[in-house]
Structure 1
């Protein structure tokens, strides 16, 4: 038996059959079975008749037991070793996360530095073009001034020749028209300044989005999968439920029992992220579904049935559709949900997309193909009529 299996076997032997944790103040019954002192006393207090051993059912009318100090010593040794192992695992995990976070920030620094370099080079090129243009205008102005001086000298010479002639005769003196020089309008320079004097951080952030991986995917709903009671907008990004079904084409992809709809896009590999606006809806389901799900029957949302989803019920009860279901306690009402599908790491994670606080993560997620999954749930009149909307970056 390997060392790991031996340690696991020992830990099982030192585990209380009532609380399923390592013994605390272990005691031994006459039948040689061990329990925590508090656990066996509580168990016997609940016995309506004669007290028995929880494992072999031997009766103990006197409810007697004796402390087992040797087992207690072994348990403490195992507990300390287990704590040390947990500490090492935490340190290892923390180190791995540290490396990952540093790598992500290094990537962002690189992207930001590239964007800075690109913008400064663009500014330098424009500056050079403006300088060349200004030099050209300056040369034209100098040439115009030179021509004007020449004309003035020529007029002065002609006036001296005329001497006492009538002033009106000056009009007959041939004068070369001055060179026309168009001054560079000042407002063009202001436009150049305005280009780089806006909300620069926001502008550069929007440009950086193309380098962010994964960036929010521009998903659309698949009309062929939508339940007959669902209404989709023309751009296939918003869905709401109506009371009566609408005549729709027959499709093997369509949900028939639950008001569900899938996205047109599917994923088999890579990392993908999308955001869904749920607003003030009183209930909803959303997440990821395997391509193999049963769309004709009403099935429970759980990983065993190919669903990895979050649920809202009663306006404020958030649940992870795990087995068993897990109640979530977000810090505030979630109006925008972010979903991350990581096919490589086999996980689906959920976030409050307004502040990116983590809500829940499913692990060991496996399927041949994944589809983003949405359910408006029934509207119950107007109580849950608000639409569910896939968010694109323009939103």
Structure 2
């Protein structure tokens, strides 16, 4: 027997048959069976007749037992070892997350610092260009003033000659053309302030989105996979269901039993994230599907059938389609769902995209190809008629 199995067997031997937990203040009956003191007293208190052993049914009219200190000591040792083991695991996980979080923030710091350097360099270049332009215009102005002075001296000399010679014709007086001098360019501090005094945090946030990894995937619905009852918008980002199916040219790749549709895009590696607007729909399914799923059959959504999905029923009942299903308790009604697919780690995680609060994570997701998966569920008249939309983040 392996060490792990031995430890499991020992733990089972030290587990109370009433509370199914490790013994607390263990006692032994005359039949040699052990229970927690509080558990056996509570059990006997509920017996309508003579007290018996819960395991072998031997009667104990006097309800007698005795403490078993040896078992108590072993249980404490097991409990302490288990606690230390959990503590070590917690420290390891915490350490790994600490490193990962620091790395992510370090990346953001680098992006912000690079953006800061870029903007400050741009501002410095604009300042330098204005200074060079002003210096050039100033030099031209100085040259113009010099030329005007030369013209004035030339005119003065000609006037002197005119006074000294009564035969000099005025038309013969040469006048040098004046240099055309333009005014200095108007420098507008307001124009520069307006450029850099906008909602700077928002502006830089928009620029930072280009560096986000994984960036929100610009998905579209696949018309070839859509159930005949589904209507897709022209831009293939919105889908709704109608009561009667419409004629389709091909059904080979379509869902036929459930109102499902896949994305056109598929993923085989890397990390990918997208968001889906579900609004006030009363029910829906969405998540990730393996490329090998049977689209013609009605199957239960679960990892064993190639689906890693979240479900909404009755307006407010959220379920993770695991085996068995897991009931979720989000803090609010989820109107926008974020989905993260990590092909390498085999992980599919779901978030409330309003504040990125975690909803559920599937592990060990394996497939040759993954497709984003959506189901509007039947509209039931007007109760669930609101469309489901793929959210696009326009950079």
Q: TM-score, normalised by structure 2?
A: 0.87
The 5 A counterparts of 1:90-101 are 90-101=90-101
1:274 Cα deviation (Å)?
A: 0.8
Q: Deviations over 1:295-335 (max 9, x none)?
A: 11222222222111111222222221122222222122211
Classify the secondary structure of the residue corresponding to 1:186. Answer: coil
User: How far apart, CA to CA, are the structure 2 residues paired with 1:130 and 1:113?
Assistant: 26
User: How far apart, CA to CA, are the structure 2 residues paired with 1:342 and 1:48?
Assistant: 58
CA contact (8 A) 1:52 1:60 kept: yes
User: How far apart, CA to CA, are the structure 2 residues paired with 1:231 and 1:49?
Assistant: 68
Q: Which residue number corresponds to residue 180 of structure 1?
A: 180
Q: Deviations over 1:150-181 (max 9, x none)?
A: 2233333334444599xxx9899654333223
The 5 A counterparts of 1:315-330 are 315-330=315-330
Q: Deviations over 1:274-296 (max 9, x none)?
A: 11111222221111111122211
Q: Which residue number corresponds to residue 134 of structure 1?
A: 134
Task: Please say if 1:196 is aligned against 2:196.
Answer: yes
User: How far apart, CA to CA, are the structure 1 residues paired with 2:308 and 2:203?
Assistant: 36
CA contact (8 A) 1:277 1:336 kept: yes
Task: Please say if 1:88 is aligned against 2:88.
Answer: yes
Classify the secondary structure of the residue corresponding to 2:340. Answer: strand
Report the CA distance shift for 1:331/1:92 in structure 2 as closer, same or farther (over 3 A): same
Report the CA distance shift for 1:29/1:321 in structure 2 as closer, same or farther (over 3 A): farther
User: How far apart, CA to CA, are the structure 2 residues paired with 1:20 and 1:107?
Assistant: 48
1:244 Cα deviation (Å)?
A: 1.4
Classify the secondary structure of the residue corresponding to 1:248. Answer: coil
The 5 A counterparts of 1:264-303 are 264-303=264-303
Give the length in aligned residue pairs: 391
User: How far apart, CA to CA, are the structure 1 residues paired with 2:319 and 2:170?
Assistant: 99
CA contact (8 A) 1:285 1:311 kept: yes
CA contact (8 A) 1:27 1:65 kept: no
User: How far apart, CA to CA, are the structure 1 residues paired with 2:387 and 2:292?
Assistant: 27
1:67 Cα deviation (Å)?
A: 4.5
CA contact (8 A) 2:138 2:184 kept: no
Range with bigger deviation, 131-140 or 222-231:
131-140
Q: Deviations over 1:64-115 (max 9, x none)?
A: 6735513333222211221121112111211111111111111111122222
1:372 Cα deviation (Å)?
A: 0.8
CA contact (8 A) 1:229 1:245 kept: yes
1:21 Cα deviation (Å)?
A: 2.4
Report the CA distance shift for 1:394/1:65 in structure 2 as closer, same or farther (over 3 A): farther
CA contact (8 A) 2:53 2:59 kept: no
Q: Which residue number corresponds to residue 373 of structure 1?
A: 373
CA contact (8 A) 2:134 2:185 kept: no
The 5 A counterparts of 1:296-375 are 296-375=296-375
User: How far apart, CA to CA, are the structure 2 residues paired with 1:30 and 1:248?
Assistant: 77
Q: Deviations over 1:115-135 (max 9, x none)?
A: 222233333333333332222
Q: Which residue number corresponds to residue 233 of structure 1?
A: 233
CA contact (8 A) 1:341 1:347 kept: yes
User: How far apart, CA to CA, are the structure 1 residues paired with 2:248 and 2:187?
Assistant: 59
User: How far apart, CA to CA, are the structure 1 residues paired with 2:295 and 2:66?
Assistant: 58
Report the CA distance shift for 1:98/1:18 in structure 2 as closer, same or farther (over 3 A): same
Supply the RMSD in Å over aligned alpha carbons: 3.1
Q: Which residue number corresponds to residue 12 of structure 2?
A: 12
CA contact (8 A) 2:225 2:255 kept: yes
Q: Deviations over 1:206-231 (max 9, x none)?
A: 22222221111111111111111111
Q: Which residue number corresponds to residue 383 of structure 1?
A: 383
Q: TM-score, normalised by structure 1?
A: 0.87
Report the CA distance shift for 1:291/1:68 in structure 2 as closer, same or farther (over 3 A): farther
The 5 A counterparts of 1:41-120 are 58-60=56-58, 62=60, 66-67=65-66, 69=68, 70-120=70-120
Report the CA distance shift for 1:124/1:320 in structure 2 as closer, same or farther (over 3 A): same
Gaps of 5+ in 1: none
Gaps of 5+ in 2: none
CA contact (8 A) 1:159 1:170 kept: no
Classify the secondary structure of the residue corresponding to 2:95. Answer: helix
